[in-house]
Amino acid sequence: MPFNLDQICRQLVEQAPDAIVYADEQGLIRLWNAGAERIFGYPAAEALGQSLDIIIPENQRKRHWDGFGRTLATGATRYGADSLLSVPAIRKDGSRLSVEFTILPFHGESGRIVGMAAIMRDVTIRFEEMKALRKQVAGAQ
């Protein structure tokens, strides 16, 4: 079987267990993989074309959109390839979760950012375990 990079990339994105989400410069979801369906509970058909607000808790939205806009305007982000950001998120059923993610800005031919991809992992269980451990340690002192 010949090596087909396009096919490999497509399968990686579509079948990755982590959520891979691409949003255009308006913050509308244009790519939503199977990992995103599993983690957030929205089928791709329902998520595509929607604002990222469907997964951002209301109390986090201003901060998110301020950073999103700043990244679009300047072309720079604090969360580059070697950064991992931890934030709360929400599922379709309204339940909260903790995700860690990295972002990758996409540049158009002019060099301007035309969208951003995020690769997200649900770390809710680990976050809750760490919180419980910290509470236990604080209580023992």
Model confidence at 134, pLDDT cuts 50, 70, 90, reads confident
Give the model confidence (pLDDT) of 76-128 as tens digits: 777 666 778 889 999 999 999 999 998 889 999 998 899 999 999 999 988 78
Which domains does the chain carry? 17-140 (3.30.450.20)
| Residues of the chain above pLDDT 70, percent | 97
Global pTM reads: 0.87
Q: ∠46-51-56 over CA atoms, to 5°?
A: 100
pLDDT of 80 reads 62
